Structure 1
């Protein structure tokens, strides 16, 4: 008979693994049912929640530390898009019947690593049995000045549309992670880069002051550039005209797209980029680009806001480029 996994009871699990991750002045070592979170004067709370499910957002056999770090980072990306300073997070953890203490130890090591990197402590949560698969739910708290309420609906006609970083790496990295032998013509280093972008996104927290200073409307890109631009367009009641040739692609992404031309559409519509999509006034362009350069952040002007509705992807002649597989990732 196979040995059953080594497991702790819930109370001991919390005491040993999660209480040491907590901020002592907010959650008191998880000795209570509530945390107490203070905001600085003239600040407002920013709250966001993201759920991650095994074999939907990550693979069940991924490194537990990477799963934990991705869960934190996708929430930090939302805070970054609002220019918010991270304060802490609540963790909802649904553990499958197969979990063991070695897995949990590695998972908490991942949490600890990114908590220290981003000054983002655990302040509470809940742990339950999940009969089917691993499920994570993180509620993140941040703060931002009350004068900075940067919403998608604020996008205005004439403003410029920007993105940070490069687009499509994670969607292509998912393909590499799922079928590692499917793209032999793409160099191993390029495949590794793309897979890493899927496994471990990079939240643009370094841009939070830039966002507060320049952005009128902002969001992170989690469900694909085109689909998330559509969400901004819908919220604002304006059209977003995107120049296909200006959308930044990494060299590994270009190499992979070169092996199969239909991958370009996947790069533009696939999820998990966790870059920032935002609008700013055209007169701020030079100052905005200079500040991005000073932060060491790649920033690209990819379009403009216009009267109308929806997102139009345009070629170099200004003609619409049709999309054959839909505009974004959808859960349902």
Structure 2
């Protein structure tokens, strides 16, 4: 199947109104009245961001969810995306069809559409990029630079499941072997992380700064610190693990290092945010109403950098600060 046949068969059905049925060289878009556009892009390289040979729907959903996580942390809603795919020449058409099905499923889940992009072939590994376009009421995007000394630090969901899910996806031996339900949850956390777009309104109203957790909790907290010119103190015992990940860590020879590995892996795509203390009770009430797991994990201070404190309030030795490409 040539490029135009691939687009016509698998990708044109995913196009929204501005995509012009993918028959033009470009898309067109009019921002919703009273809104700013928010743009974000992520790239996946086979063997780096997803296991080699996984060309189907799982990788498509994972790519889109990592982008949606950025929009969620900004308080935005998705409205469309551009897609670029470099397919290895060895990839069979069935995998391309599966990839398109994954895109369709995520579009239906979050109500946005393909607008255009590019598709090519390569002698190297698969490389795929998505540029998501979101909308947020004018002037209300939650940035990284608004944290202030005295703010609370919160994180949604649980951390660490994605690390174990990645190990499973790579067919690594996990000892002790997790229960079947836990293994399924770990894989789901890696391939289809929860995206908390439903809290975007309260996030815009009450959060002072936010980022998604993609590189590990310490590194992503550091991103907020640098943008806001503040420091953070995190309570290690308050960092949230799921029951399955907690059980796995507790059965390791070195429990502390096992937990640090879970927290430092990244790929959780939860929302890390700061908020003034007067909103604390409101956050607890919102979490209770929506069923969202929400953890208060520390506080913002003056200075610079991120500290992680043990149960005695002492600085912890945590040398691996998270993932970096370079």
Distance 2:34 2:140 in 1: 11
Q: Look up the SS of the partner of 1:16 in the other structure.
A: helix
Contact 1:185-1:259 at 8 Å conserved across structures: no
The alpha-carbon deviation at position 264 of structure 1 amounts to 0.8
Partner of 1:12: 5
Q: Does the CA-based 8 Å contact 2:83-2:129 persist in structure 1?
A: yes
Runs of 4+ more than 6 Å apart: none
- Confirm or deny: 8 A CA contact 2:55 2:96 kept in the other structure: no
Alignment of 1:145-160 (within 5 A): 145-160=137-152
Distance 1:195 1:319, change over 3 A: same
Give the secondary structure class of the aligned counterpart of 1:167: coil
1:330 aligned partner: 324
**Cα distance in 2 between the residues matched to 1:101 and 1:268:** 38
CA distance in 1, matches of 2:15, 2:169: 33
Distance in 1 between the 2:29 and 2:287 partners? 31
Check 1:149–1:165 CA distance in 2 against 1; reply closer, same or farther (3 A cut): same
2:102 and 2:164 map into 1 onto residues whose CA distance is 24
Structure 1 residues 63 and 254, CA gap change in structure 2 (3 angstroms):
farther
Give the alignment of 1:257-276 within 5 angstroms.
Answer: 257-260=249-252, 261=255, 262-276=257-271
Q: Report SS of the residue matched to 1:242.
A: strand
- What SS is found at the alignment partner of 1:66? helix
Cα contact 1:172–1:266 (8 A) shared by 2: no
1:229 paired residue among 218, 221, 224: 221
Encode CA deviations 1:250-299: one digit per residue, 9 max, x unaligned. 00111111222222111111110000000111001111221222222111
How far off is 1:185 after superposition? 4.4
SS of alignment partner, residue 267 of structure 1: helix
| Alpha-carbon RMSD | 1.3
Q: Secondary structure at the match of 1:58?
A: coil
Contact persistence 2:76–2:141 (CA under 8 A): no
1:239-254 map, 5 Å: 239-254=231-246
**In structure 2, C-alpha distance between the alignment counterparts of 1:173 and 1:263, rounded to whole Å:** 15
Match of 1:292 among 284, 287, 294: 287
Q: SS at 2:48's partner residue? A: coil
Instruction: Report the counterpart of residue 48 of structure 1 in structure 2.
Output: 40
Q: Deviations over 1:30-56 (max 9, x none)?
A: 111111112122210000000111111
Matched residue of 1:51: which SS? Answer: strand
Q: Is the 8 A contact 2:167 2:173 kept in 1?
A: no
| Distance of 2:274 and 2:206 partners within structure 1 | 8
Structure 1 stretch displaced more, 191-200 or 101-110: 191-200
Indicate the residue corresponding to 1:32 in structure 2: 24
Tell me which residue corresponds to 1:278: 273
Q: Secondary structure at the match of 1:216?
A: strand
- Residues of 2 paired with 1:185 and 1:102: CA distance? 33
Distance 2:31 2:38 in 1: 10
Q: Which moved more, 1:171-180 or 1:161-170?
A: 171-180
Deviations 1:155-176 (A, max 9, x none): 1110100000001111222223
Pick from 188, 191, 194: which aligns with 2:183?
191
C-alpha distance in 2, partners of 1:204/1:50?
18
Pick one of 150, 159, 173 that aligns with 2:165.
173
SS at match of 2:33: coil
Pairwise CA distance, 1:177: 2.9
User: SS at the partner of 1:153?
Assistant: coil
TM-score by length of 2: 0.96
> C-alpha deviations, 1:293-323, integer Å up to 9, x for none?
2222111110110011110000121100111
- Cα distance between partner residues in 2 of 1:195 and 1:113: 18
Distance between the aligned counterparts of 1:120 and 1:18, measured in 2? 14
Superposition TM-score, scaled by structure 1 size: 0.94
Unaligned stretches of 5+ residues in structure 2: none
